[in-house]
Amino acid sequence: MAAPPRKVPVEERLFSLVLALLATEQGLTKSEILSTVTGYAHRYASQADRSNLERQFERDKEELRDLGVPLETIDAPGAEGDTKLQRYRIPPDRYQLPDDITFTPEEYALLRLAGQVWREGSLSADTRRALTKLQGLGVRIDDTVIGVAPRIRTRDDAHEPLQAAIDRGLQVTFPYLKPGVAVAEERLVSPLALVYHEGRWHLHGHDDGVDAPRTFLLRRIVGPVTTLKSPVSRRTDPTVAPRVLDELARLWRATTARVRPRPGSEADVVLRNRAGTEETAGEQGGDAALVVRTTDLDILADELAAFGADVVVLEPPALRDAVLTRWQRVVAAHG
């Protein structure tokens, strides 16, 4: 029995498409591309119904244009608009880097390394585009220069589908776990902007279930994001993200807690170096206390509870109770 054909990664298929369209002067028809280019050819030969493959090619064309690739469509004389006879090509003189921009082999290697670092993260779509364009420039990058590439994930699983929904202007649903609630609630949201504040990603959108604007913390989305076919109920604009960041910054400045870490402990080092932390004199000659800022006391409670006996929460009382509750859960679970 013949082995199943190797699954071709997206970046390899796009790279092969770029090379094929750069190499042709007259252009290639859709059927010529699908029957000869790596990533399409094995499916073209084995499938009687090629409609899915043709839709894949249409998506890939848009991906190349998103890359800034100058993809030309050439109509056949007397058959304008006939997609079966149209030819596609990439003019080499329009695809090259400007003359004043050059990279050494080491710089190309570092750019590729950066892409590999993010390959498994939620930046994968963006870095795939960047790597495809680098490869399409025809520069061979020596992998031995790269060495060992770490793999880092800095975004929540929800980030990529939410960004895609924002780009397409579509509603989403997701399970959201509010602080102090044991069961997640399903939310119907028109996503408008993703913003990064205090080391965490937030989604701002219109909660269509309650007909009100809301900002959601991505780490509290506890299940898959489902993109619907229905358009968003509100439209985004360039002022949304800056406005949300301003609101979060005001909340961060206003939400404070006073804690006393054990001198020289990890808690002392981490909390003193936290953005916005201020030191206050200790009461009756005791150790100094720290005023720390946060946008979310519930998340701060998680962080403080992890320090164990190395930190004492002085105020607010709600934060102290939240930390104690976490410790009590640990004791109940582990004895």
CB 91 within 8 A of CB 72: yes
Residue 185 shares a structural domain with residue 261: no
Residue 76 shares a structural domain with residue 120: no
267 inside domain: yes
Closest-CA residue to 191 (of 246, 222, 220, 228): 228
Report CA dihedral (151, 153, 154, 155) to the nearest 10 degrees: 150
What is the predicted pLDDT for the residue at 138?
53
Could you list the pLDDT tens digit for every one of the 335 residues in the chain? 445 556 777 778 888 888 889 888 888 999 899 988 888 888 887 766 678 888 888 888 888 887 778 889 988 887 777 778 899 998 888 877 666 777 777 776 776 666 555 544 444 455 555 555 555 555 454 444 444 444 444 557 898 899 889 988 999 999 999 887 889 999 999 999 999 888 788 999 999 999 999 999 999 999 999 999 999 998 888 888 899 999 999 999 999 999 999 998 889 988 988 888 998 876 655 667 999 999 999 999 999 999 999 999 999 999 999 999 999 988 988 87
Separation CA 190–CA 296 (nearest Å): 23
State which residues form the domain around 139: 105-146
Boundary (domain end) residue, out of 117, 146, 175: 146
126 inside domain: yes
Residue 239 shares a structural domain with residue 259: no
Separation CA 240–CA 164 (nearest Å): 17
CB 209 within 8 A of CB 188: yes
CATH code at position 308 = 3.30.70
Residue 211 shares a structural domain with residue 137: no
Separation CA 250–CA 230 (nearest Å): 34
Residue 246 shares a structural domain with residue 281: no
How distant is the alpha carbon of residue 186 from its chain centre?
22
What is the predicted pLDDT for the residue at 120?
46
Residue 247 shares a structural domain with residue 263: no
100 inside domain: no
Instruction: Name all contacts of 7-12 with Cβ < 8 Å and 24+ positions apart.
Output: 8/38, 8/39, 8/42, 10/128, 11/128, 11/131, 11/132, 11/135, 12/38, 12/39
5 inside domain: no
Residue 240 shares a structural domain with residue 279: no
Residue 89 shares a structural domain with residue 110: no
152 inside domain: no
CB 85 within 8 A of CB 32: no
- DSSP letters, 199-251, are TEEEEEEEETTTTEEEEEEGGGB-S--EEEEEEPSS---TTHHHHHHHHHHHH
Boundary (domain end) residue, out of 202, 224, 251: 251
What is the predicted pLDDT for the residue at 131?
56
What is the predicted pLDDT for the residue at 25?
85
Separation CA 73–CA 61 (nearest Å): 10
Residue 181 shares a structural domain with residue 230: yes
Residue 326 shares a structural domain with residue 308: yes
Tokens of 18: 């770029």
- Listing from the earlier edge strand, what are the strands of the sheet with 87-89? 28-29, 87-89, 72-74
4 inside domain: no
Residue 134 shares a structural domain with residue 207: no
CATH code at position 77 = 1.10.10
3 inside domain: no
289 inside domain: yes
Residue 171 shares a structural domain with residue 210: yes
Q: Provide the domain count of the chain.
A: 4
Separation CA 317–CA 15 (nearest Å): 58
CB 198 within 8 A of CB 225: no
Boundary (domain end) residue, out of 95, 113, 129: 95
Separation CA 228–CA 8 (nearest Å): 28
Whole-model pTM over 0.75: no
